[in-house]
Structure 1
Amino acid sequence: MSATAEAVFRAETEPLRRELELHCYRMLGSVQDAEDLVQETFLAAWRGFDAFEGRSSLRTWLYRIATNRCLNALRDAARRPDEHEFPAEPPEPTRWGDAPWLQPLPDEIYEAREAVGLAFVSGLQHLPPTQRAVLVLRDVLGFQAAEVAEMLDTSAAAVNSALQRARATLETRVPPADRAPAPRSAAERVVVDRFADAFQAGDVDTIVALLTDDAWLTMPPAPHEYRGAELIGRFLRTVPAGGDVRRFRLVPTRANGQPAFGLYLSRRAVGILVLTVAGERVSAITAFHDTSVIARFGLPRTLPYE
């Protein structure tokens, strides 16, 4: 291609980069993988730009390329991380999770109205790849059944059937969000501050009192999932830092539209902690044992001495 053609390509595709990265993040649950897949998408589009006939919009064409690359990545079993090892023997979990590949998304990357809530993205990871693609393309992005069918080389009837199954599965995975206080509101801040103060004081009793009876503790990529305040309290009293959570420091941030913290042990970053707030209590704690995302949140690798 000529320099002029390259300039035209960049001018028409770059404005779509961010929304394509969000699409790939919903599909894959990984910020890094999403960025890599969009790079592959743009490379494939660049190579095929001369042959693009305009039968669909450029946006639809790019979504087709990106979606199919995500589906190929999801079929690669080797992309799963190794199982996380705890410093102490953890209690028997309520269940073993089957979707440990998940990373938090910094709030600065998307707009508030966009569907990237942690429960939603996590729920998507439990769907078969094609159902996941159909639900995101139809319910989140608003493509018509015929458009999705063309993207996936299938029929509109198959798309509608996959969408019904995906919706039914997702309803069992994603709790209602109507009890959540407004993001960044005073009501949310009160709950978050109480949690942080109790955590850094090693006051597990107060943490447990802040949890809903059916709260969940999950720790991607570890498959251990704990339900209920009592069981979560037992975990906190025995496993993190040998049960002495006073050794941790929490630095406020936000992820997936939810309050979050950079988690530090001995001044070194060890992950991201995300809270789901329901009313005046916490209904979920998601502890990401993944330091590769720390810089994306503008957080330091190590904290200075106080």
Structure 2
Amino acid sequence: MLAGGLAIEDLEALRVPLTGYCYRLLGSSSDTDDAVQETLIRASSKRDQYDPSRARLSTWVHRIATNVCIDMLRAAKRRALVMDVGSTGDTADLGAPLPPDMWVEPMPDSRLLDSRDPGGVVLQRESVRLAFIAALQYLTPHQRAVLVLRDVLVFTAQETAEILHTTVPAVNSALQRARASLDANRPDPFDIYSPEDAGQRDLLRRYVTAFESHDIAELTAVLREDAVASMPPFQWRLEGAQKIAAVTGASDSCAGARLVPCPINGAPGFGQYRPSDGVLRPFALVSVDIRDGQITQLVTFLGTQHRFAEFGLPESLRAEHVRGDR
């Protein structure tokens, strides 16, 4: 128990919602970790200043988190997805990589979705989708905080004003501007991911089988005609089911690769493993979006092999690993 009747457990219980909040503002996994840790340190050091008669603990701690995040954002660039800024190509030639701080980074569902709020899981998934996080980057840090606090975390206008050290009219005005800007940059519609949806499970199984067997015809069938594939940190993307299937199917680098399911940003995803010295080792995280019963977007995050454990993925697979093992 901390001084003032505030327990360590009380603060730790806010780690997941704080992670979701800071990630929506920052778009970076490493920056989010730093922001959450700094928030909890500051909250612990200022625990004697917390007055439960004046504000909920969540309101008080989110005020600290907002200050931390906005300080971090003052010198930060806008993060994006490749489809927002990248150029299309017809080959697997990726060109030169760009700095990692240009791109929205993936996060595991386990760190973003609050299991204590099962009724809000659909909103949680929608609001951590990669495209939504990228759309938030068009807002100013203040507008971003207002929109997330009001429309995602459902704080009242009064609580939001307290968190941001402003007034209710100022919050309402900022929220109106944020919604208008978000509407202008709103991502394409997509099917809400449900792990219990048999149709989605079958689609993902078909994609895995086609990818691992280099079946170009089946890859084309599971992809929407206007599907997009990208590979940050490279400013490259492929558009169209036939192009994506042809490049994927003809790629020698994917020979023997395997995909292991893992949720990413409230959507289906995979850890891609590639053969090396007789075992299959982590290569990259792959995020998938589904629209109208087909795959509409594939984002392969190169350079993420060191993060597999964070997503609940094993460090390696047997070389004889087959689809039936999953």
TM-score, normalised via structure 2 length: 0.77
Tell me: CA distance 1:174–1:233, structure 2 relative to 1, closer, same or farther (3 Å). same
Tell me: CA distance 1:264–1:278, structure 2 relative to 1, closer, same or farther (3 Å). same
Tell me: CA distance 1:145–1:108, structure 2 relative to 1, closer, same or farther (3 Å). closer
Counterpart amino acid of residue 304 in structure 1: R
CA apart distance, 1:200: 0.7
Match for residue 323 of structure 2? none
Counterpart amino acid of residue 60 in structure 2: W
Unmatched runs of 5 consecutive residues or more in structure 2: 83-90, 321-326
Contact 1:181/1:187 (<8 A) preserved: no
* In structure 2, distance between residues paired with 1:180 and 1:20: 23
Match for residue 103 of structure 2? 100
1:162 aligns with 2:190: no
* In structure 2, distance between residues paired with 1:21 and 1:189: 28
Counterparts in 2 of 1:148-227, with a 5 A limit?
A: 148-171=160-183, 172-177=185-190, 179-180=191-192, 182-227=194-239
CA apart distance, 1:275: 1.3
* In structure 1, distance between residues paired with 2:178 and 2:232: 23
Deviations 1:48-68 (A, max 9, x none): 222234432221010011112
* In structure 1, distance between residues paired with 2:25 and 2:218: 37
Match for residue 66 of structure 2? 67
* In structure 2, distance between residues paired with 1:251 and 1:190: 15
Match for residue 303 of structure 1? 317
Counterparts in 2 of 1:75-94, with a 5 A limit?
A: 75-77=74-76, 89-90=93-94
* In structure 2, distance between residues paired with 1:301 and 1:63: 35
Match for residue 94 of structure 1? none
Match for residue 86 of structure 2? none
1:43 aligns with 2:44: no
CA apart distance, 1:132: 1.4
Counterpart amino acid of residue 105 in structure 2: L
1:286 aligns with 2:284: no
Counterpart amino acid of residue 305 in structure 1: A
Unmatched runs of 5 consecutive residues or more in structure 1: 92-96
Q: What SS does the corresponding residue of 2:319 show, helix, strand or coil?
A: coil
1:268 aligns with 2:281: yes
Count of residues paired in the alignment: 291
Deviations 1:103-126 (A, max 9, x none): 232347523612433332333234
Contact 1:99/1:125 (<8 A) preserved: no
1:52 aligns with 2:50: yes
CA apart distance, 1:6: 7.9
CA apart distance, 1:303: 2.0
* In structure 1, distance between residues paired with 2:102 and 2:242: 24
CA apart distance, 1:45: 1.3
Identical pairs, percent: 39
TM-score, normalised via structure 1 length: 0.81
Counterpart amino acid of residue 73 in structure 2: L
Contact 1:100/1:223 (<8 A) preserved: no
Counterpart amino acid of residue 8 in structure 1: L
* In structure 1, distance between residues paired with 2:239 and 2:231: 12
* In structure 1, distance between residues paired with 2:2 and 2:142: 37
Q: What SS does the corresponding residue of 1:222 show, helix, strand or coil?
A: coil
Counterpart amino acid of residue 109 in structure 2: P
CA apart distance, 1:286: 1.7
